[in-house]
Structure 1
Amino acid sequence: MAGDMNMRNFLVWAILLLLLLALFNMLQGPTREPAATEVNYSRFLDQVEAGQIRSVTIQGDVITGETANGAAFRTVVPGDASISEALRNSGVEITARPASDGNGGIWGLLLGWFPMLLLIAVWIFFMRQMQGGGRGAMGFGKSKAKLLTEKSGRVTFDDVAGIDEAKEELQEIVEFLKDPSKFQRLGGKIPKGALLIGPPGTGKTLTARAVAGEAGVPFFTISGSDFVEMFVGVGASRVRDMFEQAKKNAPCIIFIDEIDAVGRSRGAGLGGGNDEREQTLNQLLVEMDGFEANEGIILIAATNRPDVLDPALLRPGRFDRQVVVPNPDVTGREKILKVHMRNVPLAADVDPKVVARGTPGFSGADLANLVNEAALMAARRNKRVVSMADFEEAKDKVMMGPERRSMVMSEEEKRLTAYHEAGHAIVALNVPGSDPVHKATIIPRGRALGMVMQLPEGDKYSMSYKQMTSRLAVLMGGRVAEEIKFGEDNVTSGAAGDIKMATRLARAMVTQWGYSKDVGLVDYGNDQGEVFLGQQLVQSSSVSADTAARIEAEVKRLIQAGHEEAHRILTDKNDDWEAIAQGLLEYETLSGEEINNLIKGVKPVRDTYVPPKAGSDEPPAGAVPEVAEDDDEIGAPGGLSPKPGPA
């Protein structure tokens, strides 16, 4: 279908190009020769005898030529055969051409009328295109919704895991389409719309495809951006055409992906709204719950920006159900991994539960990418099955970036990185409320020269004040380590990323979460993010200079307190810190268990780095991984990234 449309558009533009060329030729006209003077035959003979003729062209009974002074002339010969001899005797240059048979006139006529015929043909083509009820030339106003017919690769609810509540909500819609009388005899009405809300990668589109596979009814799919064009009124026309197609196939389902592209709040833009987009939204609202009912048509939409949608779109009667599709918990991650591992040959040591516990915060798309990366790593090593070691290495690559073992570091940089990361690790082991250290490495990954990764012991949805202050101390551990070991004059820019993350966390504690008695329980963070919140345009909050100064003072106080706590721990635990740093210099990468053993004086039993085995240092469960993020300065030691705080 797409190929036919492309060929059709190509032919249209080719015809238009030919038309323009023909019109250009018509305007230019043929190259005109000098006008010939008509002379009578007797005068022509006199000029020949007087030697006043330079050249002639004889074509049948007509002679055209040029006089000695360059004037063109034309005359008709009355069947005089002796004229050729007279011309030769006078030294005239003679050119003979055959007489015309009459066909040239017809072809000339056709060529002359060709531009007009082409213009008429193009006009007829446009008129036929415009006979579709005001849809616009070349189908601009036609709906781009595609009827999903998956004869192979059909997706069902068995292929969707980790979002049981969302599946239950949509399963009811499927049952309603299969057996409406089951609900109608109790007075129930079929829901008109379901809005899938969730972060990117959680499986909203996959869930909609599963609804199509389960329902067994026509399923139209379209993207929100397919409605909007540069021509005003096209989007509304496409909405009308889409619902016309749906009425012919009712009962059916229409799925609109990324509906926020067309469903943003009306009148919320700076300097006025977008007329074309707002007209499209108005038409969509009318079709969903307007004067004319559309029975048997269920609209399913997906978005990760519900805050910008128009309130009229979210009210009951339009999107009756708002189904949240969140990131999965540890149980959901295990189910998702099993789905993606179906077609992957696994080794006997692979345990999806262990992999799920080691991938906190991953979405469905992240888990699919993890399984794919593990399979690619096993294939590169010519393995026949994917082992747990491949999953462990793929997890580190996804969470921390690929290793850059080819990067050559000087001994001084390597030593500084080792003490920097050891500072993070030792502070993390000695502050209250901190998550266990999962791994520490000085092998460059991404843009960082080293990093320490922590994994929480359980799924977390908020952070306490003690955990936040401990987090600030951990973030300051690398900078304090450089100050103590190398002196303040030799401190590098390696803590730039740590300082940025600590500042964000401390500012959120003061301005959003009410952890400052001096500032109080006031939210000063509204102007930090979104420009639009629902229908209301949020203006930058007016903070007085005195309040801003107090906020900055509180942020500085919290960060300084973390710095002092890290300094105390590194001073008290200097021997443990030194042991971890020396272990990193020798082995480059240490697991959490190996770090604890080094503190006890037990060295790792290995010569080279081997990825940890399944379950060796995995925490019982996980929520959001704390991994080193890229530093602002390339070549600077890595730090630790903060976890998101409570909303």
Structure 2
Amino acid sequence: MKPAKNSPRARIVRYTVFGAISLAVAVITAFGYLRYEQRVDAMHPALTGIALQMRHDPAAWTRQERDASEMLRDIREEKVAAIGVSRDAILVSTQTGAKYFVTDHNGAFSNALLLGEMKAGADAPYQLVWLPDANLQTGMARWAAAFDKIRDLITLLMPLMLIGGLFWFMRREMTGGAQLLEESPTLRFEDVIGAGEAKAALADVQSYLTDPARFTDMGVRAPCGILMTGGPGVGKTRLAQALAGECGASFISITGSYFSAKYYGVGIQKVKHLFELARKNSPTVIFIDEADGLGKRTDTGGGPAEAESNRIVNQLLAEMDGFASNQGVIVVAATNHPENLDEALRRPGRFDRTVQVRLPDLEDRAEILRFYAAKLTSKADDIDFGQLARLTTGLSPATLAMIVNQAGLVARKAGASTITAAHFIEAIKIARIGDVSGAERALSEEERTRIAVHEAGHGLVAALLGTGVLEEITILPRGGALGVALVTKAQDKHLYRETEMRNEIQVLLGGRNAELLVFSEASSGAAQDLQEASRIGLDMVSKFGFNVDGNLFSLAALPAQYAGLQLKNAIEHANVLLRELDDACQALLRANEPVLRAIAERLLESETVSGETVEQLIREHAAASSPSMHLAQEPAAA
């Protein structure tokens, strides 16, 4: 009968067997070690004197290196007292007490050249010491050994460093780098010039973040997200900062591309981390600039990139639907292309309100220019900011700030110590048209004359029809233009009457008709004018209902695939309109041909003619032609 596996008797048997085996192994090991010592003692007799010192302190022989030929000469002349052999060097001690070493990689000399074949019964002329444990590194061997150690260390640490770096990078990717500002923004709504409509639209959000109880007590759900739209540089980011500053809220600023990631699933972790950070520090304003970078969800399943984009948008939708968990968190998104956002993001309950941030009007532009100009050394009393505001119609606050800085650069280039109105006007020309180029050096006299006539035609028609304020006409090339007739609007306009649009087309056709009047043929310089006139004319007949035959149907109502089929008829109507306006422009220039030629002559002389000069020439022509008309009418009356 066998004992149980875990019974005391079985355990005693196992322990006894294990102890016997261990004792046998210990005895065998001790016996083998004793035998090894006996063999070593038999192979290496007792050392005395200098040989014993060499065994215990081989480093004393590494201070002086000699050539192997010297060592062999000392051996032949029996001047050697002891020789030590190691893996890397041969240590030599002479009868006179000299100590030196000979480099011996891998025992090249020690195996064959030292003792050679000895005769029977002969005594060795010196003691030979075997130094198996001596670590003698001489010359380049020291550097080689250090390099080997560094290589081994790098080989050991490299995998650890790669794993650690990958872990750190993945962790950083998951957090996404979204950080709170250390302090709430100090910007306030009053610090943002203009954008009155946007400020009013953000008032409810400000009230909610300041006192959310006023909403919850009434059972009203506070807005969850604000979508700000508008062109680049209109001030969307400053408005978001001002909102956070008004409420004393924390502020997180990211872009739409923040959520994209190289690794699958990391984008979702970024969304989670963003909202967790915002909830911990509520009230918080999350500002997502260039929100159209989020893209739209797709149904095609085209690949991992599309699938990951869908998952990111889905996670963002889920986080914005957090209801109570998102209390005190407002998402403000800004985009120039709201049509590129996913439809589910734009529905009420996520982005509850769309705020249109418009370009500044005339008064706001003047105030913005005055604000930035106050930071410069300028003659503010001599600067007409109203005129500068008229010259900057349609420009954003960011562009206005750039113009003020450009005025400083223009003044510095001219060597002026203060910035004047002329520097500001030059900066506006650079921003709107371009800097003065060196193209005039390559123009022939004939080309300069044609350009002068062309630009005189634009300016004269604009002054006669009153399409705006004619600031100046110049034939100095700026940017891509060889000449410019600078016409500004007295005030911002959002609606245009049919008469105003017809006058705009005549101004565009004025340059070409002036060339036809003076030179009897036009040039390629009117290409851009014809393109813009055609665009306006096509919009008039196809969208605004300004047809000659009274056709009110708008091509904009048709889907894109059908609108092209009806475009031919619209082009025909637009061409009829352009022909009519072209005839009117020709008649206008023909009646004022002396003024046209006078303006062109002034341009060839001074290269730039002011709008006041053009108005004066028109008045002088009108005064000169009135008496002749009166005299011509008297005989008819008689």
* TM-score under structure 1 length normalisation: 0.69
Determine which of 383, 399, 414 is the counterpart of 2:448: 414
Superposed CA deviations along residues 305-356 of structure 1, whole A, max 9, x for unmatched, are 1122122111222112221110011122123223323312331212433322
Q: Which has the higher helix share?
A: 2
In 2, Cα distance between equivalents of 1:324 and 1:82: 97
Q: Which amino acid aligns with 2:282?
A: A
Q: Report whether the alignment pairs 1:343 with 2:362.
A: no
Say whether the 8 Å CA contact 2:439–2:477 is kept in structure 1.
no
Task: Provide the rounded CA distance (Å) in 2 between the counterparts of 1:578 and 1:350.
Answer: 33
Are 1:571 and 2:590 matched, yes or no? yes
Aligned 1:502-541 pairs, distance under 5 A: 502-516=533-547, 520-525=551-556, 540-541=561-562
Instruction: Check the 8 A contact 1:145/1:221 in 2, yes or no.
Output: yes
Q: Which of 417, 427, 447 matches 1:394?
A: 427
Deviation at 1:183? 4.1
- Distance in 2 separating the partners of 1:395 and 1:127: 51
Residue 117 and residue 466 in structure 1: after superposition, are their counterparts in 2 closer, same or farther (change >3 A)? same
DSSP-derived class of the 2:332 partner: strand
In the alignment, what sits opposite 2:49? Answer: none
2:618 to 581, 595, 599: 599
Asked whether the equivalents of residues 468 and 488 of structure 2 are also in contact (C-alpha less than 8 Å), the reply is yes
Aligned residues with identical type, % of pairs: 35
CA–CA separation in structure 2 for the residues paired with 1:88 and 1:362: 109
The change in CA–CA distance for 1:248 and 1:305 in structure 2 (over 3 A counts) is same
Per-residue displacement from partner, 1:242-282 (whole Å, max 9, x unpaired)? 111112212212111111100x3323889798222222111
Report if aligned partners of 1:472, 1:502 keep a CA contact under 8 Å in 2: yes
One-letter amino acid of the structure 2 residue matched with residue 343 of structure 1 = K
The aligned residue for residue 252 of structure 1 is 284
> How far 1:203 moved relative to its partner?
0.6
Alignment of 1:217-366 (within 5 A): 217-262=249-294, 264-267=295-298, 274-290=306-322, 293-347=325-379, 348-366=381-399
Instruction: State the AA in 2 paired with 1:344.
Output: L
Q: Between the two structures, name the one with larger relative contact order (CA 8 Å, sep ≥ 6).
A: 1
Paired amino acid for 2:455: E
Conserved in 1, the CA contact under 8 Å of 2:251 and 2:284? yes
The answer on whether the counterparts of 1:204 and 1:325 sit within 8 Å (CA) in structure 2 is yes
Kindly report structure 1 stretches of 4+ aligned residues shifted beyond 6 Å: 79-83, 106-113, 268-273
Contact 1:580 1:599 in 2 (8 A): no
Cα distance change of structure 1 residues 232 and 524 upon mapping to structure 2, 3 Å threshold = farther
CA distance in 2, matches of 1:219, 1:250: 10
Structure having the higher Rg: 2
The 3-state SS of whatever aligns with 2:410 is helix
Deviations 1:490-515 (A, max 9, x none): x3211111111112212222333233
- Mapped to 2, the partners of 1:454 and 1:329 lie a distance apart of 18
Q: Does residue 1:481 correspond to 2:502, yes or no?
A: no
2:334 counterpart SS class: strand
Separation of aligned partners in 1, 2:478 and 2:463:
23
CA deviations on 1:388-445 (whole Å, 9 max, x unpaired) are 22222222222222223673233222211111111122222334x6334222111211
Query: What are the equivalent positions in structure 2 for 1:528-567 lying under 5 Å apart?
Result: 540-541=561-562, 543-544=564-565, 547-567=566-586
8 Å CA contact 2:265–2:308 kept in 1: the answer is: yes
> Taking structure 1 as reference, are residues 207 and 102 closer, same or farther at Cα in structure 2, changes over 3 Å only?
farther
1:127–1:589 Cα change, 3 Å: closer
Return closer, same or farther for 1:450/1:169 CA change in 2, 3 Å cut-off.
same
CA gap of 1:127–1:415, structure 2 versus 1, over 3 A, is: closer
Matches of 2:486 and 2:602 in 1, distance apart?
16
Letter in 2 for 1:250: S
Residue 170 of structure 2 is aligned to residue 142 of structure 1: no
Specify every segment of 5 or more residues in structure 1 that has no aligned partner in the other structure, as ranges: 1-56, 63-73, 90-95, 130-135, 528-537, 603-647
Query: Retained in 2: the 8 A contact 1:60–1:98?
Result: yes
Aligned length: 506
For the 8 Å contact 1:510–1:519, the answer to whether it is kept is no
C-alpha separation in 1, matches of 2:612 and 2:280: 65
Q: Alpha carbon RMSD of aligned pairs, Å?
A: 3.9
* 2:362 maps to amino acid: V
